[in-house]
């Protein structure tokens, strides 16, 4: 029975040496009679050397085989790694190609939409709209605004300052001022007698009150309408009397009711007064077009700016043709701009309606003055 060491192959060469030694000894015994020194020549050391050399050769061969196997494995791993790198590079290039195709596809879509008119501007988009945003008005206008005219008229009625000099002088001086202004301001603003023609204000898209004569005609027209013949102011001595005190109270009531009319003229004057400066005038000249019915000068009001916008749309046949060619997005932008204008116009109309309501209230209160019991409708005894 083999030992564990022999069966495991750990000491193969020791058993082989023992066998070789036995064979050699047997041979020596066989020839003992003829070769007496044969046993002496059978050297275990020599056999051991043979075995050792064989073991070394086998070990070297095993090592070479092992190295060859390891080298083959390493080469295989390197080859697999190269395949993996190539596969990764191929996947990256495929991804890049996919991204490039997606970008080109999106570009083509945008180009197709642009050629189809999706990004075409609306009709108003061809005109610089920076000027229309500079409306201003009132005391910030380029000319005399409606609020300035109303303040001037009220000071005249009270007999204050230079405007009230004629009122302080008496009724004859007031009458003379009316006639002198009528003769001096004929044909101003295109009207034969602008001091008595309210169309000077209501027909003008821009009332150029930067012109002194136009502003004077506007002021005289307002005075003739609201308070043409104001009485002389009450003196301090008269104010101490009962009659003087009654006159002061009466004129205060009149001034309150006349202020409703002044409020309307203030509003209309501010709408028509030039404002916005050169930016608004430049915009108006470009936006008006050849079919615009009103004159566009170097000064423009916000009323005329809105008028130009309206005339550039519905009454303009070119706009209808442009609208028919617009893309849906361009039409939506045009609608948004039109709705913004409508919102602004409705707001201006609301402001005017507030003033009209005040005038109506003043008219109603004036009609019931002096009627005893008018507030309750109860019969009045004799």
Q: What is the pLDDT along the chain (382 residues), one digit of tens a residue?
A: 444 444 444 444 455 545 554 444 444 444 444 444 554 555 666 666 776 777 776 777 677 777 777 677 777 766 667 767 777 878 888 888 888 888 888 888 878 777 766 666 665 555 555 555 555 443 345 778 899 999 999 999 999 999 999 999 988 999 999 999 999 999 999 999 999 999 999 999 999 999 999 999 999 999 999 999 999 999 999 999 999 999 999 999 999 999 999 999 999 999 999 887 777 888 888 888 777 889 998 888 989 988 988 888 877 777 777 777 777 877 888 888 888 888 989 999 999 999 999 999 999 988 888 766 555 555 555 4
Q: Are residues 219 and 352 in the same domain?
A: yes
From residue 41, alpha-carbon distances to 16, 34, 48, 49, 53 in Å are 19, 14, 14, 15, 20
N residues, the chain? 382
Residues 6+ apart with CB under 8 A from 3: none
> Is residue 288 domain-resident?
yes
Q: Are residues 58 and 168 in the same domain?
A: no
Q: How far is residue 85's CA from residue 91's CA, in Å, rounded to a whole number?
A: 10
> Is residue 382 domain-resident?
no
Q: Are residues 224 and 260 in the same domain?
A: yes
> Is residue 380 domain-resident?
no
Tell me the pTM. Answer: 0.64
Q: Are residues 160 and 32 in the same domain?
A: no
Identify the CA nearest to 42 among candidates 61, 20, 65, 62: 20
Q: Is the dihedral of CA 349, 355, 358, 364 positive or negative?
A: negative
Contact 335, 305 (CB under 8 A): no
Supply the range of the domain harboring residue 105: 9-114
Contact 293, 250 (CB under 8 A): no
> Is residue 377 domain-resident?
no
Q: Are residues 193 and 269 in the same domain?
A: yes
pLDDT of amino acid 118: 65
Q: Are residues 98 and 160 in the same domain?
A: no
> Is residue 324 domain-resident?
yes
Q: Are residues 175 and 300 in the same domain?
A: yes
End-to-end CA distance of the chain: 163
162 SS3 class: helix
> Is residue 146 domain-resident?
yes
Token pair for 234 = 């009450």
Among left, alpha and beta (phi > 0; psi -120 to 50; other), residue 133 is alpha
Q: How far is residue 320's CA from residue 314's CA, in Å, rounded to a whole number?
A: 8
pLDDT of amino acid 125: 56
> Is residue 378 domain-resident?
no
Q: Are residues 132 and 185 in the same domain?
A: yes
Contact 146, 269 (CB under 8 A): yes
- Residue that finishes a domain, picked among 114, 143, 177: 114
Q: Are residues 331 and 199 in the same domain?
A: yes
Alpha carbon 367 to chain centroid distance? 53
Q: Are residues 39 and 178 in the same domain?
A: no
pLDDT of amino acid 101: 86
Token pair for 303 = 């009323």
Among left, alpha and beta (phi > 0; psi -120 to 50; other), residue 189 is left
Q: Are residues 137 and 197 in the same domain?
A: yes
Angle, CA 345 vertex, CA 339 and CA 351 arms, to 5°: 140
- Residue that finishes a domain, picked among 85, 114, 143: 114
Q: Are residues 89 and 167 in the same domain?
A: no
Q: What is the largest CA-CA distance in the chain?
A: 194
pLDDT of amino acid 6: 44
Q: How far is residue 32's CA from residue 264's CA, in Å, rounded to a whole number?
A: 160
Number of domain units in the chain: 2
Q: How far is residue 15's CA from residue 34's CA, in Å, rounded to a whole number?
A: 30
> Is residue 379 domain-resident?
no
pLDDT of amino acid 23: 46
């Amino acid at each position: 029975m083999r030992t564990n060491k022999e069966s495991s192959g750990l000491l193969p060469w020791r058993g082989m040496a023992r066998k070789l030694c036995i064979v050699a000894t047997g041979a020596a015994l066989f020839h003992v009679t003829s070769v007496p020194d044969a046993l002496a020549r059978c050297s275990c050391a020599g056999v051991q050397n043979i075995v050792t050399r064989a073991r070394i050769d086998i070990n070297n061969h095993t090592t070479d085989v092992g190295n060859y196997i390891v080298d083959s494995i390493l080469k295989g791993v390197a080859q697999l790694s190269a395949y993996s790198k190539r596969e990764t590079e191929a996947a990256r290039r495929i991804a890049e190609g996919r991204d490039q195709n997606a970008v080109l596809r999106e570009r083509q879509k945008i180009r197709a939409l642009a050629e189809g008119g999706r990004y075409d501007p609306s009709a108003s988009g061809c005109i610089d709209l920076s000027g229309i945003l500079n409306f201003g008005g009132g005391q910030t206008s380029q000319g005399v605004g409606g609020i300035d005219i109303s303040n001037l008229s009220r000071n005249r009625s009270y007999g204050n300052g230079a405007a009230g000099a004629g009122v302080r002088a008496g009724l004859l001086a007031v009458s003379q001022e009316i006639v002198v202004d009528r003769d001096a301001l004929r044909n101003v603003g295109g009207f034969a007698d602008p001091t008595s023609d309210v169309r000077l204000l209501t027909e003008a898209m821009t009332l150029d009150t930067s012109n002194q004569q136009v502003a004077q005609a506007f002021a005289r027209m307002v005075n003739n309408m609201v308070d043409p013949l104001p009485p002389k102011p009450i003196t301090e001595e008269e104010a101490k009397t009962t009659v003087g005190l009654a006159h002061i109270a009466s004129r205060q009531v009149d001034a309150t009711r006349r202020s409703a009319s002044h409020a309307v003229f203030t509003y209309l004057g501010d709408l028509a007064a030039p404002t916005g400066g050169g930016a608004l005038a430049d915009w108006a000249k470009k936006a008006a077009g050849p079919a615009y019915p009103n004159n566009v000068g170097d000064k423009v009001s916000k009323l005329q700016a809105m008028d130009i916008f309206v005339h550039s749309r519905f009454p303009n046949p070119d706009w209808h043709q442009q609208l028919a060619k617009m893309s849906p997005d361009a039409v939506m932008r045009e609608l948004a701009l039109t709705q913004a204008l409508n919102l602004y116009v409705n707001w201006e109309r609301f402001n005017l309606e507030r003033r009209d309501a005040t005038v109506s209230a003043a008219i109603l209160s004036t009609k019931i003055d002096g009627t005893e019991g008018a507030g309750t409708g109860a019969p009045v005894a004799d």
